[in-house]
Every structure is written in C-alpha cells, then in structure tokens.
Amino acid sequence: MRVLLIVAVLLLVAVSGAAFLPAAEPFRPYLSEATLALAVLTAIAAFLQPRQTAPPRKPVVEAARPAPPQTEGKRADAAIVHFLAMLQEKGRMVDFLMDDINAYSDAQVGAAARVVHAGCKGVLQEHFRINPVRTEQEGSFVEVPAGYSADEYRLVGRIAGSAPFSGVLVHRGWKTDMVKLPQLLRGSTDQLPAIAPAEVEVK
C-alpha cells in the first residue's frame, strides 16, 4: 500500500507538470481529468494506508516486595521477651523485680516472694526439665574429673596443674536436657512484643 501511494503521488506530480507544457495543449482536458483521477487515487491510497501506531505500552507492574525476613537475633530477642512474659503472667516476677521493695516490710516482701516463687517455679517445671549438675550436698568434698565441661563447672580458689581437681562443692549447678517453649509467631514489624499489656478498667 505504501508503494501504491508513492507511485500515485509521482504520477500526480508528473501529470500536473505536463499540463503546463505547450505541447500538451491538445491534451489539456484529458490531463485535467487524469490529474483529478490521480488526486482521487492518491487520497484513497492515503486513506487506506494503515496507520502506524505505537504498540500499547504495557503497564509496569511492580513486583511485590516480600517482608524482610526476621534475623535469628530478632527471633531470639523475641523469644526471651516471651519467656519473661510467661514468668510475669504466672509469677509476677517482673512486677516484683521492678518494684521498690524498700517501702514494704520484710513480712510483705516475704509474702510477695512466695507468690513469685510458686508461679515462676511452675513455669520452669512446665517448659524445662532441670536437674542439678552435681547431686552431692553443697559443702561436701567432690572431685572434678579430667575432661570436664567448661560450661558445667566454674573453678574458684587456688587452681594449679590440670584436672582432676578436688574441692568443696559451693553450688550444685543446674542443667537442662529438655526445652519445650511454645512456638512464637511474630509479625513483620521489628518491634519486640510486650512483656505484659497495660490493663485498663473502662468505666
């Protein structure tokens, strides 16, 4: 179609130019009609010429940005806060430790300590299996074997040479072989969960 349009335009120019030549005087009426016909043909060819339109622009769709994964450190911090929340819920431990107990008598502090002791002990027994590192009575004479685990023993006093060591058991130590904490679910925010929510009595 584009070639036809170019040819029609060239013929129209040629016929129009020939109509002004002296030698074309006898043929002028026919040249006028030919000029008109070529003009019509050119117009039709131009009308039929397919318009080149720019391809439709595809909408730019931004890929969904996934929430940044929580780091191990953030998850560990949240787990610690959650464990504090359990101690607070069952034993009011945070209330007891954050309060100024100097304003209370020894009897009041002792009564509060019993509540904290019972509640926190229940949390430990529910989520941990805790056993002493040494089963002997504190104050007894014990031997620390060669190849002992550094996280299970802390040696104090005059230490010389290499294990085994002998000494007085000052503290039995504690260890656990089972942890059963609930799975903690957190949102995408970096904010740590609350230890205990503020309680408001609406009136």
Asked whether residue 77 is domain-assigned, the answer is yes
Letter string b/e over residues 74-96, b meaning 16 or more CB atoms within 10 A of that residue's CB: eeeebbeebbebbbbebbbbbeb
d(CA 132, CA 128): 13
Query: 131 has which bridge partners?
Result: 175
pLDDT at 152 over 90: yes
82-86, 113-117, 182-186: segment of lowest average pLDDT: 182-186
Q: Clarify whether residues 79 and 172 are in a common domain.
A: yes
**What would the mean pLDDT of 117-138 be, rounded to a whole number?**
95
Q: Read off the pTM.
A: 0.56
CA 92, 93, 97, 98 torsion-angle sign? negative
For residue range 166-191, list pLDDT tens digits in order: 999 999 999 999 998 887 665 555 68
38 burial type by CB count under 10 A (0-12 exposed, 13-18 middle, 19+ buried): buried
Q: Which domain holds residue 32?
A: 2-48
pLDDT at 28 over 80: no
Q: Clarify whether residues 28 and 87 are in a common domain.
A: no
Asked whether residue 159 is domain-assigned, the answer is no
Q: Name the amino acid, one letter, at 16.
A: S
Asked whether residue 185 is domain-assigned, the answer is no
| Helix, strand, coil abundance in the chain, percent, nearest 5 | 45, 10, 45
Q: Clarify whether residues 33 and 90 are in a common domain.
A: no
Query: 143 has which bridge partners?
Result: 166
**Domain count for the chain:** 2
Going by pLDDT thresholds of 50, 70 and 90, the confidence category of residue 27 is very low
Q: Clarify whether residues 76 and 43 are in a common domain.
A: no
Q: How far apart are the first and last CA of the chain?
A: 85
SS3 for 197? Answer: coil
The percent of residues above 70 in pLDDT, for the chain, comes to: 61
Q: Clarify whether residues 76 and 175 are in a common domain.
A: yes
Q: What Cα–Cα distance (Å) separates residue 45 from each residue in 5, 10, 15, 53?
A: 5, 13, 18, 18
Q: Clarify whether residues 105 and 173 are in a common domain.
A: yes
144 in Cβ contact with 167 (< 8 Å): yes
Kind plus residue range of the DSSP H or E element containing 168: strand 165-168
pLDDT at 63 over 70: no
pLDDT at 142 over 70: yes
Q: Clarify whether residues 21 and 91 are in a common domain.
A: no
Q: What Cα–Cα distance (Å) separates residue 107 from each residue in 39, 71, 101?
A: 116, 46, 11
Q: Clarify whether residues 122 and 172 are in a common domain.
A: yes
